[in-house]
Amino acid sequence: MVFSSPGFLFLFFPVFFALYFVLPRAARNSYILLASFAFYILGAGALTAVALVLLMLNWLLGQLIAHLRREPSGAAARPGAARLALAAGIVMNLAPLIFFKYLLFLAQVLHDVSGAAPFATAATWKIVLPLGISFYVFHFLSYLLDVYARRIEAETSIQKFAIYIFLFPHLIAGPVVRYAEVREQLNLKYRRLVGSDVFWGMVIFCIGLAKKMLIADPLGSVVDVVHGPTVAMSTYAAWLGALCYSFQIYFDFSGYTDMAIGMARMMGFRFPRNFNRPYAAASITEFWQRWHMTLSRFFRDYVYIPLGGNRRGNLATYRNSFIVFGLCALWHGAAYTFLIWGLGHGALLAFERAGWLNSARWRLGSLPVFVLATLLWVPFRAVDLGQTGKLLRAMSGLDPAVPLWQDANRVLADPKVMFLLALAGLICLLGDKPFQRLRRRSLRQPLMMGVYSCLLYLLSCLAVVEGGFNPFIYFQF
């Protein structure tokens, strides 16, 4: 079920919270779990079994690892066995992810490298990806790794552990929440309904919905045309598609996480922030400190730092960065185009670290970072390497077969699209200081924020009714 679908907005969302607010506190956890199971089953169907089996196995394995790591007399009881249990848990969680998400890509790579006949038909194989598997596998992995490192105690309640995994706001597309961040809130004794949390949670939800329905989806319709087979390709069309997609993916994904964070807050949970205006960053390094922050933090803490981070010299640092961005690329999708996107960002970070790339010297604010990010979104969105090359050649203006403009591009020069591009650019590229001043001024006027949020909600609902809805981009990951 999609947060921006009529079924969710007009049925699941109001019914869930209407009942949640009137239920006795003792019944709320059971109600959350039941509703979250129903929410997931409606989207995943029979593949819910994959998540349920992993849920039970990880809960048991977490307790086993904690038992093996106990220190009754100042020394680990069985460190070797604990490491073995952790390794088994990592393999157990990655195996279904690799099978469902990467088997076809691995078969395609083997065919491309060896030409082996058995893999020639890999593109025709059909494997259905379980909904949200990339996210809930990372939740399982972070939980086991934190239990092993004694950063948290293993959860003994299967109900609380199941809520941590299946809580419907973050189940399908994040943010990547660590168990330690919600451990106390899973306990009904510490989670209370607070009026201000319900109010601001609803405000955040409405802002996220508006990002999706009023900005991301209209820009996405232009992106779909530019990437379609009948587009009259020109330099203008290619750049328009790239710019629209840069803003579409930001407003789409940050809109989803705003809705998730808002709904969780209405229930009494506090999720970590996932976006901090990444296109306002002054460097690619800062961009990744602002974009999909919970995923970046996952790779930093569980991959980059264990590999040595930046503590073993420049070559090791570059190697670790490329490993992280290669894995980040593959996490997003099993295709060569995603690898180009991820390794491209790894290369830009390496150039910044070596001093070869310093956008601050150009004194153009965050514009260079936005342009570089936009160029790398081209392969991310493209269906294959051929389309990537076609779009980049068109954007360069150096392809004699592609004009700068075609009369057929008039349909893409819609005033509404131009207005949304200008609005998106203002929101995303405005400097941090003026943006924070506006934000503080808004927070001091809760009544006006409530009125604006209601207006955004109504406009978003009208957009759903009139134009339908599109799934969130990150649902495919």
Residue 243 · residue 421 · CB < 8 Å:
yes
Alpha helices in 149-281 (DSSP H): 158-166, 168-171, 179-182, 195-210, 217-226, 235-267
- Rounded CA-CA distance 309/325 in Å is 13
Residue 244 · residue 374 · CB < 8 Å:
no
DSSP single-letter state for residue 270: -
Nearest to 269 by CA among 172, 204, 211, 173: 204
Task: Tell me if residue 332 is catalytic.
Answer: yes
Residue 404 · residue 397 · CB < 8 Å:
yes
Sign of torsion over alpha carbons 248, 252, 255, 257: negative
Residue 313's region, left for phi above 0, alpha for psi from -120 to 50, else beta, is: left
Q: Taking the CB of residue 167, how many other CB atoms lie within 10 A of it?
A: 24
The CA–CA distances, whole Å, from 169 to 2, 127, 153, 221 equal: 11, 26, 24, 26
The residue whose two tokens read 């597309």 is 173
Q: Taking the CB of residue 470, how many other CB atoms lie within 10 A of it?
A: 19
Cis preceding linkage at 24, omega within 30:
no
- Three-class SS of residue 384? coil
Q: What is the CA radius of gyration of the chain?
A: 23
Please list, in sequence order, all residues whose beta carbon lies within 8 angstroms of the beta carbon of residue 117, skipping any fewer than 6 positions away: none
The one catalytic residue among 170, 292, 332, 345: 332
Residue 159 · residue 200 · CB < 8 Å:
no
Q: Which residues are catalytic?
A: 332
